[in-house]
């Protein structure tokens, strides 16, 4: 018995023509098909500038949403409570709902240090893994140095400068094997120098001058509400001059004790104007648990500095590929 093709030659020709037309019509589509990321609704291009631009567009959408939320519960910032009492208004909110970490880190995100209190979230540790002049400042130690220890263990060249006026050294997690890359002073960080006080307090600018630094890759701060006046003192001169901030990213614990929403919004918008974008946040639930009063006025934030040319937002120049002078 012959095959179906032999018994129906016209049918075979018809199938061949259909397949040929299909392949012909699909050819241009295959040649110009977008990458997989575009097929998921993302723009073409996955290089670092494209990822940063995409993250900024996402964050700008948040700014519009924030204005709408303020109008809904305000309508002015002065009308909004950080933590509304009772069950009204409904649906309920807290101050943290206005300031989500909506910026997408363009690199890997990982937690360094202990789970719970002490650990911090970092954007793109791989960017400084082999950086020979990597500089880390950690302000607020309290004998818990798992964060600093993991930075040292996961990088080759990072040097860590630690400051805390309430203790005399890093915590026990930083061992003798790290001694050559750690530096500690019992100083506090403040808006202005108070070197005659006990304990001694210095501005970030002064600490950097002491150490001969012009840039910090990672700055961690936990200074028990002094962050508001201290960061204002750091940021305002850079805003006035148009210069980028002298650090690549910031890990910060925020304490909204005795503040109004309007005050907090003004301070936060100053951070945004300087190019700081939050890519991670979590409430300090350890603090909430110990107080047992429902307090949620402490939160951890991680920010990326999106201005300037720090290592997290600019690819290093490969000098081996640069044209040489003839």
Query: Tell me: the pLDDT tens digits for 246-277?
Result: 999 999 999 999 999 999 999 999 999 999 99
> In angstroms, rounded to a whole number, what is the distance separating the alpha carbons of residues 187 and 211?
14
What does the pLDDT average to over 62-68?
98
Sign, CA dihedral 13-19-20-25, equals: positive
What does the pLDDT average to over 304-311?
98
Annotate 247-285 with b (16+ C-beta within 10 A) or e (fewer). Answer: bbbbbbbbbbeebebeebbebbebbbebbbbbbbbeebe
Q: Which long-range contacts (CB under 8 A, 24 or more apart) does 89-97 make?
A: 93/69, 94/296, 95/256, 95/261, 95/264, 96/281, 96/283, 96/296, 96/299, 97/69
What contacts 294, CB < 8 A, 6 or more positions away?
A: 288
> In angstroms, rounded to a whole number, what is the distance separating the alpha carbons of residues 290 and 16?
76
For the purposes of burial, counting CB atoms within 10 Å of the CB of 53, is it exposed (0-12), middle (13-18) or buried (19 or more)?
middle
To 10 degrees, the CA torsion angle through 192, 197, 199, 205? 20
Choose among 206, 213, 199, 195: nearest CA to 136.
Answer: 213
Percent of the chain with pLDDT over 90: 72
> In angstroms, rounded to a whole number, what is the distance separating the alpha carbons of residues 233 and 253?
17
Lowest mean pLDDT among 62-71, 105-114, 230-239, 284-293: 284-293
Would you place residue 100 in the very low, low, confident or very high pLDDT band (cuts 50, 70, 90)? very high
What contacts 317, CB < 8 A, 6 or more positions away?
A: none
pLDDT higher for 43 or 130?
Answer: 130
Would you place residue 143 in the very low, low, confident or very high pLDDT band (cuts 50, 70, 90)? confident
Would you place residue 20 in the very low, low, confident or very high pLDDT band (cuts 50, 70, 90)? low
Q: Assess contact for 218 and 136: CB atoms under 8 A.
A: yes
pLDDT for the residue numbered 28: 45
Query: Given a cut of 50, is residue 5 above it in pLDDT?
Result: no
Query: Given a cut of 80, is residue 66 above it in pLDDT?
Result: yes
Query: Given a cut of 70, is residue 134 above it in pLDDT?
Result: yes
pLDDT for the residue numbered 87: 73
Residue 312, φ and ψ in degrees, nearest 5:
-85, -15
For the purposes of burial, counting CB atoms within 10 Å of the CB of 213, is it exposed (0-12), middle (13-18) or buried (19 or more)?
middle
> In angstroms, rounded to a whole number, what is the distance separating the alpha carbons of residues 251 and 303?
6
SS3 170: coil
Query: Given a cut of 50, is residue 33 above it in pLDDT?
Result: no
The helix (H) or strand (E) run that includes residue 20 is helix 9-31
**Mean pLDDT score of the chain, rounded to an integer?**
86
> In angstroms, rounded to a whole number, what is the distance separating the alpha carbons of residues 31 and 53?
26
Cis amide leading into 196 (omega within 30): no
Query: Given a cut of 80, is residue 96 above it in pLDDT?
Result: yes
pLDDT for the residue numbered 227: 96
């Amino acid at each position: 018995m012959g095959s179906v093709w032999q018994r129906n030659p016209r049918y075979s020709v018809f199938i061949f023509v259909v397949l040929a037309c299909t392949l012909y019509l699909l050819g241009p589509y295959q040649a110009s098909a977008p990458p997989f990321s575009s097929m998921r609704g993302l723009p073409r291009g996955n290089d670092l500038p494209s990822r940063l631009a995409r993250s900024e567009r996402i964050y700008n959408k948040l700014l519009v949403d924030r204005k709408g939320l303020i109008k809904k519960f305000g309508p002015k910032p002065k009308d909004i409570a950080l933590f509304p009492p009772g069950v009204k208004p409904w649906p309920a909110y807290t101050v943290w709902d206005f300031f989500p970490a909506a910026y997408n880190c363009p690199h890997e995100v990982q937690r360094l240090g202990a789970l719970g209190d002490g650990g911090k979230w970092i954007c793109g540790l791989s960017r400084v893994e082999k950086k020979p002049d990597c500089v880390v400042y950690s302000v607020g130690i309290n004998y818990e140095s798992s964060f600093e220890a993991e930075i040292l263990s996961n990088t080759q060249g990072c040097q860590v400068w630690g400051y805390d006026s309430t203790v005399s050294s890093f915590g026990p997690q930083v061992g003798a094997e790290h001694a050559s890359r750690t530096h500690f002073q019992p100083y506090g960080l403040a808006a202005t120098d108070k070197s005659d006080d006990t304990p001694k307090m210095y501005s970030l600018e002064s600490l950097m001058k002491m150490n001969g630094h012009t840039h910090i890759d990672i700055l961690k701060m936990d200074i028990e509400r002094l962050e508001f006046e201290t960061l204002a003192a750091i940021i305002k001169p850079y805003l006035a001059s148009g210069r980028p901030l002298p650090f690549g990213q910031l890990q910060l614990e925020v304490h909204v004790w005795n503040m109004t929403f309007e005050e907090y919004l003004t301070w936060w918008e100053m951070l945004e104007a300087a190019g700081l974008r939050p890519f991670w946040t979590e409430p300090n639930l350890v603090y909430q648990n110990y107080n047992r009063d429902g307090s949620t006025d402490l939160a951890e934030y991680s920010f990326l500095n999106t201005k300037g040319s720090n290592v997290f937002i600019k690819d290093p120049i490969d000098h081996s590929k640069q044209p040489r002078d003839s």
